[in-house]
A and B are shown apart, each in its own frame.
Chain A
């Protein structure tokens, strides 16, 4: 019972990190800043999923973390590809 508090605390700390990343996503100022912020949000979301898996004792949620890590990498590469080639 007592140890559950620590995993909830870890969830709270990671959520504060996501709030910071979202503030940067809103403020910009440039498009690459927003892409980096989105990348960080996804990485922290992996942390949240893993904490959730521990909190509810459900190791199946770790598969979601694999897929999200894969998709976020592809998304960042695609953003970088198009930012490098765009004409301002």
Chain B
């Protein structure tokens, strides 16, 4: 880890293109076209949400960004990370933390896999367990936690890894509504501090409008980009107060207008 010193020297703020750039992305599973010619630019520091009916290929899109799935054709690029930092970390749908590791070891996983120095693991993990309210539970195993707590661990694991880009695949969809609201608020609170670039997949229009700066609506199979909507609500946001804001209602209504035909089509 001696070369760490060298790495921090060059200033890597020169590059000014979009953080994530997707050009004419196509993904086919045998004869099924999952993603059909999607192009997006995502600026650095943007919370970018993708909504669409189930089976529209939005999870596949995220998995391609995360390197878990290959693409059939097209270009996908995520801006070079600052040396020493990982390009992206993923927060998965459902239970993805290891049952055989304590909360602490789960949160430290990304850092340990990239062989971060011990002191960095210590400080980063304790910082993020603190920010996610998990410090008291750091020695417990996942089966001793509720579903909401487990998903907090998953969030802490991704943030502690300190990536350039966070990829979130319906992270709250398995939670009940109250827990979902609490975690959305916590995610906003955490995210609004250092505004990392986020790509957030969801099937919930409310969730997308609550969290995101920009929202891409996808069409039903094959998945295409139907429209991109800017969410001009002020930050910091309060999940409950938003519901009382007429602009919030208008944006939700607007997106539903785009989505309605797609949901109907997906049902046929």
Partners in one complex: no
Residues of A within 8 A of B (CB): none
